[in-house]
Amino acid sequence: MIGDMGDVPIEHYYQINEAHNDITKFYKQVHNAGVIPLSIGGDHSICLPIFRAIACDQPIGLIHIDAHTDTCDEEMGYKITHGTPFRRAIEAGLLDPKRTIQIGIRGAQNSEEGWNYAQESGIRVIFIEEFMDKGVEAIIREARRIVGKGPTYLTFDIDSIDPAYAPGTGTPEIGGISPYQAQSLLRGLRGLNLVGGDVVEVAPPFDPTGNTALVAATMIFEILCLLVESIEKRK
């Protein structure tokens, strides 16, 4: 069954920890109903409460397309932010770093500390230079090798895309991947054992042309196709 769950009900907007509890509560219902969620952000911190709902039985693998690893220890003194979700998820045993790949990493708004944690914890980090040098096909093969047959989540941060194509986001980094490359990459992930997906960090007011929304909607469509096929395969 494919359907639209509508907005996630969040009661506690001004306390991120409590808002995360609201999100987890909702996704546990989704998960217990046997539904595979495809979410639209929101900032990247939402992965943490989603993982708490859908990865409570066993750690999941992750294909993470982004300009940033989002594995800092803290941001401006806080542990729970859009720069830290995957570190928190690893610490909580929700995410298996050995089955995690991060693709498209680059730019000035990263911290070395976050990069180091990612690599030291066992995550396979594909910096943009490797992506551009080896090409999409090689990256697809590497992603499939890393995540294998286990349960895997797919998260797509719109800032992985070069900001010429998607200026409507909060931490743009130049020198990114093109929407065509992103589509090719996603299409190469057919047949994986996917347990969820999302597209995050879309901020329409920063884009007077509306292109960002169009790119995001297309990526959501591509991921939806992957999830449906994954569900069919498991039956």
Classify burial at 150, counting beta carbons within 10 Å of its beta carbon; exposed 0-12, middle 13-18, buried 19 or more. Answer: middle
Classify burial at 218, counting beta carbons within 10 Å of its beta carbon; exposed 0-12, middle 13-18, buried 19 or more. Answer: middle
Which amino acid is it at 138? A
Strand partners, 102: 64, 125
Binding mask 114-153 for a copy of itself (x = CB under 8 A): --------------x---x---------------------
User: Which tokens in the block code for residue 7?
Assistant: 């907005």
Decide: is 221 part of the binding site for a copy of itself (CB under 8 A).
yes
Decide: is 77 part of the binding site for a copy of itself (CB under 8 A).
yes
C-beta of 34 vs 209, nearer to a copy of itself: 209
Tell me if residue 158 falls in helix, strand or coil: helix
Decide: is 211 part of the binding site for a copy of itself (CB under 8 A).
yes
CA–CA separation, 71 and 176 (whole Å): 19
C-beta of 58 vs 224, nearer to a copy of itself: 224
Decide: is 228 part of the binding site for a copy of itself (CB under 8 A).
no
List interacting residues with a copy of itself (CB under 8 A). 11-16, 75-78, 80-81, 107-108, 128, 132, 162-165, 167, 172, 174-176, 178-180, 183-184, 205-211, 214-215, 218, 221
